[in-house]
Structure 1
């Protein structure tokens, strides 16, 4: 990877834009594609180049970051990437959170097309990507990881190799399970403290010093208290991942009671606040819920 080698990004949402910003700060040229013209204009405004198709992006990129919504969307890109790349075979870095079976099938599809693939879902919000505190979970051939090691350090200074293709998705889903339930517990605790008449900021400060501390208090606590739901991560994406977690648990013969309830809270919050709000908006599903029958307020 050299400073004049363009990096392609397919998907210019919160995460794709954050990654493009890190590349731009490192003076690495960015070529982006998204079906949303507003997102494309944002990349242009920061000095990136925008193309009109994935095929065109593949023709001018030696490395392609895939930052789309779902595994299904990832799989749908391969025809255009294959056609556009020609004899050059760009390395694909898939940061999309997929099901393990999905990413394994995608890797087999990539292998048949002669496209080296690295699985690299990111644990952290777009803000954490921007400030370098997010962590990439890396899975795949060590030679491919080493080949793009310099680029990975720019994109996500913190990373962890977790094994073969599929293992990064498994680890990401298990991490997300804990994270999402921590977030829901924080939301319930803050809403409870508010109902008890406690001062929200003072209570959050106390909780941060207590045995209940989790990092989600730092990232989402103030947003919940102030109802600042400008997105660092979209709540619809959070629900998508929760549903993926529940689906994978079912395949393993497991029932996840906390995650199942948490997914319902997410659905309620989306109905109240909309799908594009921050995941901190889950607190609204608790704040606005009526007391259980027979419970005195």
Structure 2
């Protein structure tokens, strides 16, 4: 296929849309597919082209970026890609369980498809502005073949090792990130309840030993109740459940993450599954002013 053939995006949610904007901004032709017609129309409005199916996508592209919701969706979509006689390189950015991504890589190898594991650490806003990090794993030749594309998609890159290792690292990183976010939510909620000015508190926390980058990405959203999604509560909970399942598989209990997952479930009932992950703060804010002594 020609070197200037389009790049395909399978899955046009928050991350897939951010990828399309980066590539179109770099002058690369983009063709995408999503089961949601509204997402496809948004790509058309952004000067992209829409394929009729995942199989159709494969026939037009030199490489395809998979950015669907889950590992199960990625495996289902891969069946359509396998059925095409075309063999574009595959970059899978979906957060998967290690077992899921290893199965995909084996299927790709059997079909003669170059495959790169590349989950993203960061929100759609961070992908859009180039500050997210892609965790890359796989065969060196396959990675080299899409090196320039990876630089456009996500300029910050960490090479992890063999397929499966990037997903393992992503889950452990997400554990830290999610628990930092929940801790920030508790800190802001406590500061508000004690009568402190939220903006002053957040500015002070940013200069303290407690600083984490989540204060920059989610602090203002929590203060202002701005829950327009950059990352969705439902996706965050799915990732937390992946983390807990993988830990259980290795005989490890994660009590802090268990509590954080419960907060996410409560936040979803309050703010809805499509609200930004910053809405976890509502699970803490919307508690009774006082707790009865159970004695």
Same fold, judged at TM 0.5 (above) = yes
Query: Which whole-Å deviations, capped at 9, do the CAs of 1:103-135 have from their partners, x for residues lacking one?
Result: 111111111111111000000000000110000
Partner of 1:275: 273
Question: CA separation in 2, counterparts of 1:229 and 1:156?
Answer: 24
Provide TM-score, normalisation by structure 1.
0.97
> Which consecutive unaligned segments of at least 5 residues does structure 2 have?
none
Q: Does 1:203 align with 2:205?
A: no
SS of residue in 1 equivalent to 2:83: helix
**Conservation of the 8 A alpha-carbon contact between 1:120 and 1:168:** yes
Partner of 1:20: 20
Alignment of 1:39-58 (within 5 A): 39-58=39-58
Match 1:137 to one of 135, 138, 144: 135
Spell out structure 1 runs of 4+ moving beyond 3 A: none
Alignment of 1:73-112 (within 5 A): 73-84=73-84, 86=85, 88-112=86-110
Provide TM-score, normalisation by structure 2.
0.97
**Conservation of the 8 A alpha-carbon contact between 1:3 and 1:27:** no
Q: Does 1:292 align with 2:291?
A: yes
Partner of 1:256: 254
Question: Aligned residue pairs: how many?
Answer: 293
Query: Which whole-Å deviations, capped at 9, do the CAs of 1:31-71 have from their partners, x for residues lacking one?
Result: 00001111111100110000121111011011000000111
Match 2:175 to one of 162, 174, 177: 177
Partner of 1:71: 71
Question: CA separation in 2, counterparts of 1:207 and 1:21?
Answer: 34
Question: CA separation in 2, counterparts of 1:174 and 1:2?
Answer: 39
CA RMSD between the two structures: 1.2
Give, in angstroms, the shift of residue 2 of structure 1: 7.6
**Conservation of the 8 A alpha-carbon contact between 1:3 and 1:28:** no
Give, in angstroms, the shift of residue 172 of structure 1: 0.2
> Which consecutive unaligned segments of at least 5 residues does structure 1 have?
none
Give, in angstroms, the shift of residue 196 of structure 1: 0.2
Question: CA separation in 2, counterparts of 1:272 and 1:262?
Answer: 15
**Conservation of the 8 A alpha-carbon contact between 2:3 and 2:62:** no
Q: Does 1:8 align with 2:2?
A: no
